[in-house]
Amino acid sequence: MVNSVHPTGLFDNSAKDYQHITAHPLASAMGAEIRGVNLSDVSDDVMAEIEDALYRHKMIFFRDQEISFTDHENLILQLGEFGTDAYTTGVPGHPNIQPLIKEASVTTKSVFGSGWHVDSAFLECPPSIAINYGVDIPPYGGDTMFANAVLAYNSLSPAMQEMIAPLKVWMSGKKVLANMQSEKQSQESGKVGAIGNIELDLNTQQMLEGFYHPMVRTHPVSGEKSLYVDKIYACGIEGMTEDEARPLLDFLSSFATQESFTCRLRWENNTVIMWDNRICLHQAFNDYDGYRREMYRAIVMGERPV
C-alpha cells in the first residue's frame, strides 16, 4: 500500500491493495492513476475494483488506453445508465458520446469546462460519474484540476457545518448564459450557442430555473458528506436575499477549491479519466491556443441530491 494521508489528517488517499488493478495516488487530497487494466475489455470483477477505487480517490485516470465509442458506452453501462447531457449533442450513431473538440485555429476567452464547477448542477438529477477520453492532446496546457468536496466539508468548523446543514443552494446556469451572451457566442434564439467551436444544444429555460439542492450532500454509496457549492452554478440560497447569500457562497466556493484540497491532471494522448461528479469540483484551463484538442465525454445518470 502507498500511504498518502492529507496533512490535516481529515482524508486518507492511500492506495488499497486490489486483486486485479493497482492504484497510485496523485496527491494527498485526492486522485489516483489506475494501472493493470485494459478499458476496452473490463470484466465485472475488474469494474468492481475500479468503482471502489473511484469512490475512494474521487478521481481516477488510466494511461495508454485505446477505446472505441462502443467501449466508452460500455464503461458507462457497467456503472449505471446513460445520463442526459445538458450541453452538447452526441457523435453520429453514438448519441451518448459527446465530442469536446477545439481546433488549432480557434481562439476564445473561455473554454468548455472552465471555472470551478460540478457538471450540470442545475439539473434535478445531475450526472453521478463522468468519463472523459483524450485522443489528441496539445504538447502543453489544457490540464484539469479537481477539488475534493468531502475533504472541504470535513475541514469546516463544527459551527459552520451546523449552520449550513439545513440550507439549500440554488443551482442555475444563469451565469453561464450571461457569459456566452457577453461574448456574443449564443444565437438570438437562445437555443443553440457555442464555446469555441463546440456547438451547444441548450434548454435555456431549464438552465435558468435550475433546482434547489442540499448544500451538504450525502453520497448514496459511501455515506460521506460533502460541500455542494461551486463558483459557476451556485447562484443563491433558499430563503435568503442575494445580498445575504452571496458572501456565504463566495466563501464556501473559495474554501472548497483551495490548493490543499486539489489535484491536477496532465493530459496525454489516450488518457481516460473518471470522476465522481457528486463529490468533486473541477475546472479546465484554456492555455493551449494554436493546438488542436480532441476529447470525448460520457456520463452516468445521477440521482437527486440528498
Domain ranges of the chain: 85-300
What region does 190 belong to: left with phi over 0, alpha with psi -120 to 50, or beta?
left
105's grid cell: 485555429
Q: For domain 85-300, which CATH number applies: 3.40.50.720, 3.40.50.2300, 3.60.130.10, 3.40.50.20?
A: 3.60.130.10
pLDDT of residue 181: 67
Report the share of the chain in percent with pLDDT over 90: 77
Under the banding of pLDDT at 50, 70 and 90, the label for residue 114 is low
Closest among 250, 236, 56 to 148, alpha carbons compared: 56
pLDDT of residue 198: 47
Instruction: Decide if pLDDT at 4 tops 50.
Output: yes
> What are the distances in angstroms from CA 288 to CA 26, 108, 137, 197, 243?
23, 10, 10, 14, 37
Q: Quick one: which H or E segment has residue 198?
A: strand 198-201
Instruction: Decide if pLDDT at 110 tops 80.
Output: no
pLDDT in tens, 48-63: 999 999 999 999 999 9
Q: Which amino acid is at 70?
A: T
Q: Which amino acid is at 91?
A: V
pTM of the predicted protein model: 0.91
pLDDT in tens, 236-264: 999 999 999 999 999 999 999 999 999 99
Report the share of the chain in percent with pLDDT over 70: 89
Average pLDDT, the chain: 91
